[in-house]
């Protein structure tokens, strides 16, 4: 699994089919990649490790004041978690994209749901979206700061 963590001043996800929106202010927009082979690994340990690690990330919250960076948990930011199968897409030739490395819906959903449980266990304020839904994501990146966490 991989996570793309973006430091944002705001982010929102609009679920097109249900016309609902979830949004956060200061915090992290996190895209979660689930590989088809993740089901064969200790994915529960990875989800737990991510939840613990994201609380400790220092991503330059106070650049303008030139003060020490603060961690996610220091400032009580929010996290917007989005599963994005397209991040495992490959394009080796031609115009078509191959998504065969991405986990199927049936394999990815339990992993995503467990990730949410881990965020709750770590008392991380989070929002999410309807898994597998068509969506419109908007964000205002700070920095921009983008970090990939890979396990």
Parse the chain into domains and list their residue ranges: 2-150
Give the number of other Cβ atoms within 10 Å of residue 34's Cβ. Answer: 26
Q: 4, 30 in Cβ contact below 8 A?
A: yes
pLDDT digit of tens for each residue in the chain (151 aa)? 889 999 899 999 998 888 888 999 888 999 998 988 888 889 999 999 999 999 888 765 545 555 556 677 767 789 999 987 766 667 777 777 777 778 888 899 999 999 999 999 999 999 987 787 788 899 999 878 888 888 7
Domain 2-150, architecture per CATH:
3-Layer(bba) Sandwich (3.50)
pTM for the full predicted model = 0.86
Q: 27, 8 in Cβ contact below 8 A?
A: yes
d(C-alpha 139, C-alpha 24), whole Å: 9
Chain Cα centroid distance, residue 52: 14
Strand 2-15, strand 27-33: pairing? antiparallel
């Amino acid at each position: 699994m991989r996570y793309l963590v973006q430091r944002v001043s705001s982010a929102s996800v609009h679920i097109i089919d249900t016309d609902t929106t979830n949004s956060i202010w200061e915090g992290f927009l996190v895209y979660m990649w689930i590989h088809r082979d993740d089901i064969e690994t200790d994915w529960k340990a990875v989800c737990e490790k991510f939840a613990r690690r994201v609380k400790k990330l220092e991503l330059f919250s106070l650049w303008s004041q030139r003060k020490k960076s603060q961690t996610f948990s220091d400032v009580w930011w929010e996290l917007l978690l989005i599963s994005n199968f397209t991040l495992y897409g490959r394009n080796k030739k031609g115009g078509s994209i191959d998504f065969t490395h991405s986990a199927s819906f049936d394999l990815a959903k339990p992993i995503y749901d467990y990730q949410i449980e881990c965020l709750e266990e770590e008392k991380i304020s989070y929002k999410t979206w309807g898994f597998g839904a068509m969506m419109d994501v908007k964000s205002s990146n700070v920095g921009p700061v983008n970090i990939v966490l890979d396990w």
